Protein backbone atom coordinates (compact mmCIF):
# COMPACT_ATOMS: atom_id res chain seq x y z
CA UNK A 1 0.00 0.00 0.00
CA UNK A 2 2.83 2.38 0.90
CA UNK A 3 4.50 1.71 -2.44
CA UNK A 4 1.30 2.45 -4.29
CA UNK A 5 0.98 5.79 -2.50
CA UNK A 6 4.60 6.59 -3.32
CA UNK A 7 4.08 5.78 -7.00
CA UNK A 8 0.92 7.89 -7.11
CA UNK A 9 2.76 10.79 -5.47
CA UNK A 10 5.44 10.57 -8.15
CA UNK A 11 2.77 10.80 -10.83
CA UNK A 12 1.28 13.85 -9.10
CA UNK A 13 4.44 15.94 -9.40
CA UNK A 14 4.06 19.23 -11.25
CA UNK A 15 7.23 18.62 -13.25
CA UNK A 16 5.20 17.36 -16.16
CA UNK A 17 3.34 20.63 -16.69
CA UNK A 18 5.52 21.32 -19.73
CA UNK A 19 3.85 19.53 -22.58
CA UNK A 20 5.82 17.78 -25.32
CA UNK A 21 4.58 20.17 -28.01
CA UNK A 22 6.12 23.09 -26.08
CA UNK A 23 9.57 21.56 -25.81
CA UNK A 24 12.36 22.82 -28.02
CA UNK A 25 14.38 20.50 -30.24
CA UNK A 26 17.68 21.93 -29.00
CA UNK A 27 18.36 20.39 -25.56
CA UNK A 28 20.57 23.33 -24.50
CA UNK A 29 17.84 25.87 -25.26
CA UNK A 30 15.25 23.64 -23.60
CA UNK A 31 17.38 23.42 -20.45
CA UNK A 32 17.75 27.23 -20.40
CA UNK A 33 13.99 27.61 -20.87
CA UNK A 34 13.28 25.20 -18.01
CA UNK A 35 15.67 27.04 -15.67
CA UNK A 36 14.18 30.43 -16.52
CA UNK A 37 10.58 29.23 -16.28
CA UNK A 38 11.24 27.92 -12.76
CA UNK A 39 11.97 31.49 -11.66
CA UNK A 40 8.86 33.03 -13.22
CA UNK A 41 5.54 33.10 -11.33
CA UNK A 42 2.29 32.01 -12.89
CA UNK A 43 -0.10 35.01 -12.66
CA UNK A 44 -3.04 32.63 -12.22
CA UNK A 45 -1.61 30.20 -9.65
CA UNK A 46 0.31 32.84 -7.65
CA UNK A 47 2.91 30.69 -5.86
CA UNK A 48 3.69 28.24 -8.64
CA UNK A 49 6.27 28.77 -11.32
CA UNK A 50 5.15 28.68 -14.93
CA UNK A 51 7.20 25.49 -15.22
CA UNK A 52 4.97 23.75 -12.65
CA UNK A 53 1.60 25.30 -13.50
CA UNK A 54 -0.98 23.70 -15.76
CA UNK A 55 -2.87 26.98 -16.27
CA UNK A 56 -3.45 28.12 -19.84
CA UNK A 57 -1.69 31.42 -19.18
CA UNK A 58 1.35 29.59 -17.81
CA UNK A 59 1.49 27.53 -21.00
CA UNK A 60 1.36 30.71 -23.08
CA UNK A 61 4.15 32.23 -20.98
CA UNK A 62 6.28 29.13 -21.46
CA UNK A 63 5.77 29.35 -25.21
CA UNK A 64 6.63 33.07 -25.29
CA UNK A 65 9.75 32.43 -23.21
CA UNK A 66 10.87 29.72 -25.61
CA UNK A 67 10.17 31.96 -28.60
CA UNK A 68 12.38 34.66 -27.05
CA UNK A 69 15.20 32.17 -26.52
CA UNK A 70 14.93 30.83 -30.08
CA UNK A 71 15.03 34.44 -31.34
CA UNK A 72 18.45 34.77 -29.70
CA UNK A 73 17.68 36.62 -26.47
CA UNK A 74 20.00 36.10 -23.55
CA UNK A 75 18.55 34.77 -20.30
CA UNK A 76 18.42 38.27 -18.81
CA UNK A 77 16.79 39.70 -21.97
CA UNK A 78 14.08 37.04 -21.86
CA UNK A 79 13.38 37.67 -18.18
CA UNK A 80 13.41 41.44 -18.74
CA UNK A 81 10.87 40.99 -21.54
CA UNK A 82 8.56 39.07 -19.21
CA UNK A 83 8.99 41.67 -16.45
CA UNK A 84 8.28 44.50 -18.90
CA UNK A 85 5.13 42.72 -20.01
CA UNK A 86 3.78 41.51 -16.63
CA UNK A 87 5.61 43.59 -14.03
CA UNK A 88 7.87 42.43 -11.20
CA UNK A 89 5.04 40.26 -9.90
CA UNK A 90 6.04 37.65 -12.47
CA UNK A 91 9.36 37.06 -10.67
CA UNK A 92 9.23 34.43 -7.93
CA UNK A 93 12.24 36.12 -6.27
CA UNK A 94 12.05 39.87 -6.93
CA UNK A 95 15.22 41.93 -6.81
CA UNK A 96 16.16 43.29 -3.40
CA UNK A 97 16.69 46.85 -4.56
CA UNK A 98 14.79 50.13 -4.54
CA UNK A 99 11.33 49.92 -3.01
CA UNK A 100 11.62 46.13 -2.76
CA UNK A 101 14.50 46.58 -0.33
CA UNK A 102 12.06 48.08 2.17
CA UNK A 103 9.85 44.99 1.88
CA UNK A 104 12.80 42.62 2.25
CA UNK A 105 14.03 44.40 5.38
CA UNK A 106 10.65 45.16 6.99
CA UNK A 107 9.97 41.69 8.40
CA UNK A 108 13.35 41.22 10.14
CA UNK A 109 13.23 44.81 11.42
CA UNK A 110 9.74 44.34 12.87
CA UNK A 111 10.83 41.06 14.45
CA UNK A 112 13.75 42.80 16.16
CA UNK A 113 11.49 45.63 17.35
CA UNK A 114 8.97 43.12 18.75
CA UNK A 115 11.72 41.23 20.56
CA UNK A 116 13.05 44.50 22.01
CA UNK A 117 9.61 45.58 23.23
CA UNK A 118 8.98 42.15 24.76
CA UNK A 119 12.36 42.12 26.50
CA UNK A 120 11.83 45.66 27.86
CA UNK A 121 8.36 44.75 29.11
CA UNK A 122 9.65 41.69 30.93
CA UNK A 123 12.53 43.65 32.49
CA UNK A 124 10.18 46.37 33.82
CA UNK A 125 7.85 43.98 35.62
CA UNK A 126 7.95 44.23 39.40
CA UNK A 127 9.44 41.25 41.21
CA UNK A 128 6.88 38.81 42.55
CA UNK A 129 8.59 38.32 45.92
CA UNK A 130 5.69 39.46 48.07
CA UNK A 131 5.73 37.73 51.44
CA UNK A 132 2.83 37.10 53.75
CA UNK A 133 2.40 39.43 56.69
CA UNK A 134 2.31 38.04 60.22
CA UNK A 135 -1.47 38.42 60.32
CA UNK A 136 -1.87 36.56 57.03
CA UNK A 137 0.43 33.75 58.22
CA UNK A 138 -1.65 33.39 61.40
CA UNK A 139 -4.88 33.29 59.39
CA UNK A 140 -3.39 30.69 57.02
CA UNK A 141 -2.21 28.51 59.91
CA UNK A 142 -5.67 28.73 61.46
CA UNK A 143 -7.27 27.62 58.19
CA UNK A 144 -4.83 24.75 57.70
CA UNK A 145 -5.36 23.44 61.26
CA UNK A 146 -9.13 23.28 60.91
pLDDT one-digit tens code per residue, 130-146: 788 899 999 999 999 98
pLDDT one-digit tens code per residue, 7-32: 666 665 545 566 666 677 778 888 88
Structural domain span for residue 18: 2-90
Q: Which residues contact 77 (CB under 8 A, 6 or more apart)?
A: 68
Count of CB atoms situated within 10 Å of the CB of 102: 10
* One domain for residues 39 and 76: yes
pTM of the complete model beyond 0.75: no
* One domain for residues 54 and 106: no
Number of domains forming the structure of the chain: 2
- What's the chain's average pLDDT? 83
Long-range Cβ pairs for the range 6-10 (8 Å, 24+): none
Q: Is 95 among the domain residues? A: no
* One domain for residues 107 and 55: no
pLDDT at 99: 78
Amino acid sequence: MKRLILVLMLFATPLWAVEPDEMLDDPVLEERARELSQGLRCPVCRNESIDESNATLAKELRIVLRERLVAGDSDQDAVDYMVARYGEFVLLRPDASGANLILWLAAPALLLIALGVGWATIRRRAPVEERLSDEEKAALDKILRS
